[in-house]
């Protein structure tokens, strides 16, 4: 197994001669070579290649053929693709606000008069680093008919519990709930860091001026936290469009295709149907949507994000 390469000694020796002012072209080539070569081979060329492949009918076995925009237009008219887009959108629209609300709420709570803050933060953070597949399996057990959640439901409501993962009207909600549980800890830490950075004097000044706690939260704390919130929102939106492992493990996209997401569809088209052209076109649709949503966020931020203060 090849393990990495230090900078080529030749390049470094060459650099010693050349003066600082005159540029370090040769040294730079040496330092950049390992990263640059890998970046070119495994990131840049694949990104471009992906766009090229998306214009081909490209089966894994058999002859590939230029197809123009056919992959893209076929997808646009495919009811299955409509459904997986809709599923993903529903997931994003439910998951992102819930994630932000829970993470912000807990960050504020832990930042109030609470002991052992570090311990709480650490424990809430844990599911974000444990393998998603393992987290999803644990929840798959929790959601089983007659599992812990069903038993609790029956005790509390006295009526038979729905089959959470098997009922089309419950399955997506189940996936969202599990995802919020596993994912909010990260944003909670982002918000905690943001809260720690707010100088105490500002809170105190507002407090002396007779500003009540709710007003203080709304008019002082949240505006000062808005850059963190903007950052968290962007990152969470981007990653939530890429949701894959949770539905793959918990529902396998089912029942029917009620929880099949865009990335699951990409995986099926590309690596089960072996239609690599279609899979690439799906990836570019995903990329375009992510870019569009991110751009909209950046346009919208002027209205609510305060960078100075």
Partner 1 sequence: MTADLATRSTVPAKPDEPPLRPTAQRLGPRGIFSQVLLTLVLLLFLLPFIWMLSNSVKPGDEVFSSGLLGSEVRLGNYGEALAYLPFGRFMLNGLFVSISGTIVVCVTSVLAAYAFSRLRFRGRGAIFMVYLATLMVPHEVTVVPLFILMQQLGWVNSYAALIFPWAFSAFGTFLLRQFFLSIPQELEEAAVIDGASKLRILVQVIVPIARPAIAVLAVFTFINYWNSYLWPLIIINSQEKATIPLGLSYFLSQNGNEWHLLMAGCAIAMAPTVLMVVLLQKHLIRGIAISGIGGR
Report the distance separating Cα 218 and Cα 224, nearest Å. 10
Q: How far is CA 254 from each of CA 66, 73, 166, 243, rounded to the nearest angstrom?
A: 34, 26, 7, 15
Q: Which residue in the set 59, 83, 108, 125 belongs to the binding site for partner 1 (CB under 8 A)? A: 125
Interface with partner 1, residue 114, by CB under 8 A: yes
Interface with partner 1, residue 15, by CB under 8 A: yes
Q: Which residue in the set 98, 108, 138, 206 belongs to the binding site for partner 1 (CB under 8 A)? A: 138
Interface with partner 1, residue 235, by CB under 8 A: yes
Interface with partner 1, residue 297, by CB under 8 A: no
Report the distance separating Cα 94 and Cα 80, nearest Å. 21
Residues in the chain: 309
Report the distance separating Cα 157 and Cα 152, nearest Å. 8
CB of 307 to partner 1, least distance (A): 15
Interface with partner 1, residue 304, by CB under 8 A: no
Q: Could you tell me the two tokens for 262?
A: 């865009």
CB of 191 to partner 1, least distance (A): 10
Site for partner 1 in 24-63 (CB under 8 A): 24-25, 27-29, 31-32, 34-39, 41-47, 49-50, 53
Window contacting partner 1 (CB under 8 A); options: 71-79, 85-93, 175-183, 300-308: 175-183
Let me know: does 289 contact 298? Beta carbons within 8 Å: no
Interface with partner 1, residue 190, by CB under 8 A: yes
Interface with partner 1, residue 155, by CB under 8 A: no
CB of 67 to partner 1, least distance (A): 15
Report the distance separating Cα 309 and Cα 221, nearest Å. 11
Q: Could you tell me the two tokens for 40?
A: 């070119």
Q: Which residue in the set 66, 69, 218, 271 belongs to the binding site for partner 1 (CB under 8 A)? A: 271
User: Any residues with CB less than 8 A from the CB of 74 and at least 6 apart, and which?
Assistant: 278
CB of 300 to partner 1, least distance (A): 18
Q: Could you tell me the two tokens for 226?
A: 């808005």
Cα-Cα-Cα-Cα dihedral sign, residues 180, 185, 191, 192: positive
Interface with partner 1, residue 215, by CB under 8 A: no
Name the residue nearer to partner 1 (CB basis): 2 or 299.
2
Interface with partner 1, residue 93, by CB under 8 A: no
């Amino acid at each position: 197994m090849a393990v990495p390469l230090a900078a080529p000694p030749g390049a470094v020796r060459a650099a010693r001669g050349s003066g600082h002012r005159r540029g370090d072209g040769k040294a730079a080539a040496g330092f950049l070579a390992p990263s640059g070569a890998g970046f070119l081979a495994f990131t840049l060329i694949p990104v471009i290649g992906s766009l090229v492949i998306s214009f081909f009918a490209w089966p894994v076995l058999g002859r590939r053929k230029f197809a123009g925009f056919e992959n893209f237009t076929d997808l646009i008219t495919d009811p299955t693709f409509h459904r997986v887009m809709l599923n993903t959108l529903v997931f994003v629209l439910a998951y992102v606000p819930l994630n932000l609300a829970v993470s912000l709420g807990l960050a504020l709570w832990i930042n109030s008069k609470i002991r052992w803050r570090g311990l709480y933060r650490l424990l809430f953070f844990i599911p974000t680093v444990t393998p998603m597949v393992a987290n999803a399996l644990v929840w798959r057990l929790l959601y089983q008919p007659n599992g812990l959640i069903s038993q609790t439901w029956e005790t509390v409501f006295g009526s038979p519990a729905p089959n959470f993962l098997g009922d089309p009207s419950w399955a997506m909600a189940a996936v969202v709930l599990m995802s919020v549980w596993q994912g909010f800890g990260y944003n909670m830490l982002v918000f905690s860091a943001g809260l720690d950075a707010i100088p105490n004097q500002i809170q105190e000044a507002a407090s002396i001026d007779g500003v009540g706690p709710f007003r203080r939260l709304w008019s002082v704390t949240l505006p000062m936290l808005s850059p963190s919130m903007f950052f968290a929102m962007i990152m969470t939106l981007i990653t939530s469009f890429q949701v894959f492992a949770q539905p793959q493990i918990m529902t396998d996209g089912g029942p029917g295709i009620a929880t099949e997401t865009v990335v699951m569809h990409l995986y099926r088209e590309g690596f089960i149907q072996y239609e690599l052209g279609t899979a690439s076109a799906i990836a570019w649709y995903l990329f375009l949507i992510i870019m569009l949503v991110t751009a909209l966020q950046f346009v919208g931020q002027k209205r609510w994000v305060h960078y100075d203060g």
